[in-house]
């Protein structure tokens, strides 16, 4: 991997994340303008907004990505497939799908493999790519993540992804928080995924140093809301 990188290359590592429940259409339009300004890889938006984002981003090189079974992965497989077909018809080029976390924790690997396999088939048949979100904060033991990486590799998933950014765990003080993309998990996912399966870090990538650090761990895409701040800092530091 190159140790030196330029700002456009860093921009193409970013999925500009627009998934907050309170995101309005007006805010979405402004954030799509930011995505175009900086030339990021994609916007990652709520499913209902795919058609709007597609119209806003036409004639640009910013792709439209969205989420399925988000944020907790609890939908039946048939519902995830229906969602995927719908968003692909409306213009989504990238789909970030949350696994059925309960089934993973139950070690029902037959179910997990079948669900991911069906999602690979429907995304690829529609010309889209699939990113499988593990939600690592809910997976206390590495064996779960390792097995998911192996299944995703076997099935030809395009990306494995750490988190939704909304996987909050209740702490001893009763407050909810999440770790998101940890270095430990990123190293683990890169190690146990096939070479052609890329790794996406999401949750906690807020600064240029965060982005550069995970890049050195083998990450090729990140989900970020602080896109403008990250890339403005990159311009200051890398273009001097």
Q: What is the DSSP letter of 74?
A: -
In a domain, 185, yes or no: yes
State the Cα–Cα distance between residues 42 and 240, nearest whole angstrom: 27
Average pLDDT over residues 70-91: 97
C-alpha closest to that of 70 among 50, 98, 47: 98
Domains contained in the chain, number: 1
pLDDT of residue 3: 60
pLDDT of residue 171: 81
Average pLDDT over residues 91-112: 98
In a domain, 59, yes or no: yes
Mean pLDDT of the chain: 95
216 — pLDDT class (breaks 50, 70, 90): very high
Residues marked as catalytic: 96, 161, 200
In a domain, 2, yes or no: no
Average pLDDT over residues 57-66: 97
**Residues pairing with 222 in the sheet:** 14, 201
Burial (CB < 10 A; 0-12, 13-18, 19+), residue 171, is exposed
Q: Indicate the pTM of the whole model.
A: 0.95
Structural domain boundaries enclosing 115: 7-238
174 — pLDDT class (breaks 50, 70, 90): confident
Catalogue the E-assigned strands of 20-93.
Answer: 42-45, 63-68
Q: Can you state the angle between helices 109-125 and 142-155, rounded to 10 degrees?
A: 40
Percent of the chain past pLDDT 70, that is, above it, reads 98
Inter-residue contact 219 to 199 (CB < 8 Å): yes
Does residue 58 have a pLDDT over 60? yes
In a domain, 40, yes or no: yes
In a domain, 1, yes or no: no
pLDDT of residue 170: 82
Dihedrals phi, psi of 11, to nearest 5 degrees = -60, -40
In a domain, 24, yes or no: yes
Does residue 24 have a pLDDT over 90? yes
State the Cα–Cα distance between residues 98 and 24, nearest whole angstrom: 23
As a whole number of Å, the CA-based R_g of the chain is: 17
**Residues pairing with 161 in the sheet:** 133, 200
Does residue 239 have a pLDDT over 80? no
pLDDT of residue 240: 66
Average pLDDT over residues 45-73: 97
CATH label of the domain that carries residue 76: 3.20.20.70
Angle at 118 between CA 191 and CA 42, to 5 degrees: 65
Does residue 40 have a pLDDT over 90? yes
Provide the token pair at 3.
């140790």
10 — pLDDT class (breaks 50, 70, 90): very high
pLDDT of residue 178: 83
Range in 2-6, 25-29, 98-102, 141-145 the model is least confident about = 2-6
**Residues pairing with 159 in the sheet:** 131, 198
């Amino acid at each position: 991997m190159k140790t030196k990188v330029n700002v456009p290359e860093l921009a193409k590592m970013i999925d500009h994340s627009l998934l907050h429940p309170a995101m309005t259409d007006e805010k979405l339009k402004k954030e799509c303008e930011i995505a175009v300004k900086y030339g990021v890889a994609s916007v990652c938006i709520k499913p209902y907004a795919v058609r709007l984002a597609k119209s806003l981003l036409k004639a640009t090189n910013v792709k439209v990505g969205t989420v399925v079974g988000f944020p907790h992965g609890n939908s039946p497989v048939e519902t995830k497939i229906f969602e995927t077909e719908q968003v692909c018809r409306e213009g989504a080029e990238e789909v970030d799908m949350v696994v059925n976390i309960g089934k993973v924790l139950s070690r029902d690997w037959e179910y997990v493999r079948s669900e991911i396999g069906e999602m690979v088939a429907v995304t690829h048949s529609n010309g889209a790519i699939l990113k499988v979100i593990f939600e690592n904060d809910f997976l206390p033991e590495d064996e779960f993540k390792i097995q998911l990486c192996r299944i995703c590799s076997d099935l030809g998933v395009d990306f494995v992804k750490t988190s939704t950014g909304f996987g909050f765990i209740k702490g001893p003080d009763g407050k909810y928080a999440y770790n998101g993309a940890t270095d430990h998990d990123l190293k683990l996912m890169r190690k146990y995924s096939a070479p052609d399966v890329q790794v996406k870090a999401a949750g906690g990538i807020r600064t240029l140093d965060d982005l550069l650090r995970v890049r050195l761990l083998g990450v090729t895409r990140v989900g970020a809301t602080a896109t403008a701040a990250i890339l403005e800092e990159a311009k200051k530091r890398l273009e001097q």
